[in-house]
Amino acid sequence: MGSATIVLSRGAVPYSTSISEPRGKTRNNNKYTNLWNGRFLGIGLRCHGKRNKPCRLYTSTGETKPTNDLQELLLTLPSEKNWDGSSLHLYGGVWYPAYAISGVVSFQQHFIAQNSDIILASMPASGMPWLKALAFSVINRNHQSAKESPLLVTSPHELVRSFENDLYFKTNHPNLEQLPLPRIFSTHTHYSSLPLSIIDSKCKIVFICRNPLDQAISYFLFASKSRQENAKPVSSIEEHFEKICRGVQNYGPFWDSSLGYWKESLERPEKVLFLRYEDLKDDTISNLKKLAEFLGFPFSENEEKEGVLEEILRLCSFDNLKDLKVNKNGVRPNGVPNSVFFRSEEVGHWSNYLSPQMAENFRKIVEEKLVGSGLAFKISQ
């Protein structure tokens, strides 16, 4: 493989890092990112476990230069303020919260996919805990019944762990060897930002997508409930709406995230399954069967007759999950309480927060971004 050098500048002091270039690809350098063949490849920034430990940029001569908690990298990236006043940074075409970037870089550089891996993906506030519970239950139903499920005592986020917000948030080299097969992981990053080992392997990806109005409002409520004590109050929807319309939100733009997985699901339906949250709500049985079939764990006729699907749906229902002690207590590695992941599952609740004009403006923007793709969303009130 060839080698390319990216230079990050702060004032007059250049920093550079060598990364590998895929053989035969065309390189297009700019100040912030390297895009090869439409895919973003992370730069050579390495962190050493704890957030308060210095990260290092590896130069083309092999020397290392310490940075102060990613500040050298973050200073090179476009930034905006999030709902809670924290920073979002545009990295490889995705608006990441500042705390997630080290995990994203590490994930991109170090994760090696296995053909049997299963990757669950979504924008935030789009039904990921529900999808995790369903996928875990489908895959492991022969090992324990719904009455004995680990979901009763363990958070879905512990059973299906996030790449950037958990596994690689802590270290460059998490111990993944002890995980049972098939390994199940989750991510909020875009398809174009996934490591090439995922793209080029036979692992399967399930993307769950929510209509953009409900997704935006659900994340607003999530941000309101998950902010730290003494943190700045979350900005109002009116204050932040203009940014949402520009795609500036956690792991946005919404349309880029959705389109990436949508197009791959059309081109490689054996690789990517695109699920709509609303469809899953409307017809859970059919979509659960579709999920199981895609993952390679189809339900038998006997299982259907014995009510196994209904058992899984009861176990994974919103009402059941939110009332479990494990989902009421504890926090995630990034400090977010488990309880805020189980709020409202209502479809169309955006109408309680957005004016008709705001909703119409955003709907038109999304439609323009998706035009010609065949992807559309039902907007319920």
Q: What is the pLDDT of residues 254-297, one digit of tens each?
A: 999 999 999 999 999 999 999 999 999 999 999 999 999 999 99
| Catalytic center residues | 188
Residue 206 belongs to domain spanning: 107-370
Helix H or strand E encompassing 57 = strand 55-58
Q: What is the pLDDT of residues 139-191, one digit of tens each?
A: 999 988 888 899 999 989 999 999 999 999 878 999 998 899 999 999 999 99
Q: What is the pLDDT of residues 23-77, one digit of tens each?
A: 333 333 333 233 222 333 333 333 333 333 333 333 333 333 334 456 787 888 9
- Position 149 scores a pLDDT of 94
Residues in the chain: 381
Q: Are residues 144 and 208 in the same domain?
A: yes
DSSP 183: P
Instruction: Please provide the distance, in angstroms rounded to a whole number, between the alpha carbons at the two ends of the chain.
Output: 53
Q: Are residues 267 and 121 in the same domain?
A: yes
d(CA 286, CA 265): 18
Helix H or strand E encompassing 101 = helix 101-110
Q: What percent of the chain has pLDDT over 70?
A: 73
Place of tokens 């596994």: 167
Q: Which two tokens stand for residue 89?
A: 């940074």
Q: Are residues 59 and 117 in the same domain?
A: no
Q: Are residues 41 and 144 in the same domain?
A: no
DSSP 200: H
Mean pLDDT value of segment 220-225: 70
Q: Average pLDDT over the chain, rounded to whole?
A: 78
In a domain, 96, yes or no: no
- Residue 305's domain is classified under what CATH number? 3.40.50.300
Is it true that the peptide bond before 212 is cis, omega within 30 degrees of 0? Answer: no
For residue 217, what pLDDT band results from cuts at 50, 70 and 90? Answer: confident
Q: Are residues 151 and 253 in the same domain?
A: yes
- Position 240 scores a pLDDT of 80
Q: Are residues 184 and 56 in the same domain?
A: no
pTM over 0.85: no
| Residue that finishes a domain, picked among 76, 92, 119 | 76
- Position 38 scores a pLDDT of 30
Q: Are residues 116 and 53 in the same domain?
A: no
User: Where would I find the beta strands (DSSP E) of 144-215?
Assistant: 161-162, 184-187, 204-209
Q: Are residues 215 and 286 in the same domain?
A: yes
Q: What is the pLDDT of residues 110-148, one digit of tens each?
A: 999 999 999 999 999 899 999 999 999 999 999 888 888
Structural domains in the chain (count): 2
Q: What percent of the chain has pLDDT over 90?
A: 53
Q: Are residues 35 and 118 in the same domain?
A: no
Asked if pLDDT for residue 11 goes beyond 50, the answer is no
Q: Are residues 136 and 67 in the same domain?
A: no
Q: Are residues 132 and 212 in the same domain?
A: yes
Query: What are the backbone dihedrals phi and psi of residue 61, each rounded to the nearest 5 degrees, phi first?
Result: -95, 0
Neighbours of 218 (CB within 10 A): 23
- Position 204 scores a pLDDT of 98
- Position 340 scores a pLDDT of 65
For residue 377, what pLDDT band results from cuts at 50, 70 and 90? Answer: confident
In a domain, 99, yes or no: no
Q: Are residues 193 and 141 in the same domain?
A: yes
